[in-house]
């Protein structure tokens, strides 16, 4: 048996459960979970914001663990290897999206901690082709946020093209990693936080932002692009207003409240508004190679597995700088 924190019903607290240890099927790895970061998407799962959620489910999709068993035809990793498990956990492999490197849009995709059992548990299974080797420079807890905050942040950054000045709305786990990557690439980050949140603004500057201020205020200059991580639709018109003509606004979350109507003039002059959906294998390979090369510092607050509800509450209430991480096992 193994311990897990399970969502029994939408909107309820996670419940500690003793579950049977999973068995790896063909192409799968059996993984002993060492650490699992807590993502805002986990909040959306728990709060019932995402469609087609079947209960019970074990959340968690920023997993770092050790391989302890191999299913038939699993050949890329060996027992004892350390791996990371991200949000995207399965795709069909044969549709047009999968064949063109857009497996993040596959209609048959399944997701760790949402449609597949996740990492808020002592053990899990995952398809080998959706597991990744983790740079040695990171311990388990500091590596965990790389698997979603880092990956989705990196994909969002890619969507801004060659932008040199970028605003980030919602300065949490993804933003604090992304800011360090952007700084390494010679870009400027402008951090936008909840109005009056001086702690978050100081954190943004500490991570390398050249400016930080309230989300309802304009930046000191028009920006090339903006990325919205906060799930607040009202930020979209503000971000469009903050970027220059031909600027790009990227919505980086899986869920957002309704976007209010706004005058066409905010979108005119060839501004672009787009979303990011999930991640691709290429994103993970590129970002983890970059993380091995540069000194990305992940700020983490540690919680034991049994305190998963407290970690979710702290994230929901904005009490965290950086990422919450559940420590699992010995």
Express as a percent the part of the chain with pLDDT over 90. Answer: 94
Whether residues 141 and 286 fall in one domain: yes
pLDDT at 312 over 90: yes
> Mind listing the pLDDT tens digit for each residue in 207-263?
999 999 999 999 999 999 999 999 999 999 999 999 999 999 999 999 999 999 999
Whether residues 9 and 136 fall in one domain: yes
- CA of 246: how far to CAs of 9, 215, 249, 292, in Å? 44, 21, 10, 33
Residue 83 pLDDT class (50, 70, 90 cuts): very high
Q: pLDDT value at position 146?
A: 97
Whether residues 74 and 216 fall in one domain: no
pLDDT at 22 over 70: yes
Contact status, residue 41 vs residue 148, Cβ threshold 8 Å: yes
Whether residues 228 and 309 fall in one domain: no
Residue 302 pLDDT class (50, 70, 90 cuts): very high
Whether residues 250 and 307 fall in one domain: no
- Residue range of the domain that includes 118: 2-148+279-327
> Mind listing the pLDDT tens digit for each residue in 119-151?
999 999 999 999 999 999 999 999 999 999 999
> Mind listing the pLDDT tens digit for each residue in 103-126?
999 999 999 999 999 999 999 999
pLDDT at 330 over 70: no
Whether residues 163 and 134 fall in one domain: no
Whether residues 225 and 103 fall in one domain: no
User: What rounded mean pLDDT belongs to the chain?
Assistant: 95
pLDDT at 11 over 90: no
Express as a percent the part of the chain with pLDDT over 70. Answer: 100
Whether residues 13 and 85 fall in one domain: yes
Q: pLDDT value at position 295?
A: 85
The β-bridge partners of 38 are 324
Q: pLDDT value at position 307?
A: 97
Whether residues 89 and 177 fall in one domain: no
Whether residues 70 and 172 fall in one domain: no
The whole-angstrom separation of Cα 58 and Cα 70 is 21
Number of domains present in the structure of the chain:
2
Q: pLDDT value at position 183?
A: 95
Whether residues 196 and 309 fall in one domain: no
Window from 176-185, 226-235, 303-312, 313-322 with minimum mean pLDDT: 313-322
pLDDT at 273 over 70: yes
3-state secondary structure at position 36: strand
pLDDT at 10 over 90: no
61: tokens are 């999709």
CATH at residue 206: 3.40.50.720
Q: pLDDT value at position 52?
A: 83
3-state secondary structure at position 305: helix
Write the secondary structure of 104-155 as one string of H (helix), E (strand) and C (coil): HHCCCCEEECCCECCCCECEEEEEHHHCEECCCCCCHHHHHHHHCHHHHHHH
Closest Cα partner for 171 from 210, 202, 217? Answer: 202
The β-bridge partners of 65 are 33, 83
**What pTM does this model have?**
0.94
Token pair 């930080």 is at which residue?
212
Whether residues 167 and 138 fall in one domain: no
Q: pLDDT value at position 235?
A: 98
CATH at residue 107: 3.90.180.10
pLDDT at 23 over 80: yes
pLDDT at 318 over 90: no
């Amino acid at each position: 048996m193994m311990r897990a924190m399970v969502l029994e019903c939408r909107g309820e607290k996670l419940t500690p459960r003793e579950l049977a240890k999973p068995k790896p099927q063909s192409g799968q790895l059996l993984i002993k979970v060492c650490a699992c970061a807590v993502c805002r998407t986990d909040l959306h799962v728990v709060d019932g914001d995402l469609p087609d959620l079947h209960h019970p489910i074990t959340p968690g999709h920023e997993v770092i663990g050790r391989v302890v068993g191999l299913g038939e035809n699993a050949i890329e990793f060996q027992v004892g290897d350390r791996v990371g498990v991200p949000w995207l956990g399965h795709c069909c492999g044969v549709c047009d999206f999968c064949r063109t490197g857009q497996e993040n849009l596959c209609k048959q995709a399944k997701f760790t901690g949402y449609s597949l059992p996740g990492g808020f548990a002592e053990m899990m299974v995952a398809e080998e082709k959706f597991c990744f080797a983790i740079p040695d420079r990171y311990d388990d807890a500091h590596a965990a946020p790389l698997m979603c905050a880092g990956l989705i942040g990196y994909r969002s950054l890619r969507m801004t093209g060659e932008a040199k000045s970028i605003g980030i709305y919602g300065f949490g786990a993804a933003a604090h990693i992304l800011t360090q990557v952007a700084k390494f690439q010679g870009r400027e980050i402008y951090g936008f936080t909840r109005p009056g949140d001086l702690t978050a603004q100081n954190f943004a500057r500490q991570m390398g932002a050249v400016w930080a201020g309230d989300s309802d205020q304009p930046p000191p200059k028009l920006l090339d692009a903006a990325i919205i991580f906060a799930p607040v639709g009202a930020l979209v018109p503000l971000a469009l207003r903050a970027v220059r003509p031909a600027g790009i606004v990227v919505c980086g979350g899986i869920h957002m409240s309704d976007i209010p109507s706004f005058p066409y003039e905010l979108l005119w002059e060839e501004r672009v508004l787009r979303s990011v959906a999930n991640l691709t294998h290429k994103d993970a390979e590129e970002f983890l190679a970059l993380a091995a090369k540069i000194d990305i510092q992940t700020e983490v607050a540690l919680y034991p597995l049994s305190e998963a509800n407290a970690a979710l509450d702290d994230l929901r209430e904005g009490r965290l700088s950086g990422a919450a991480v559940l420590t699992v096992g010995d």
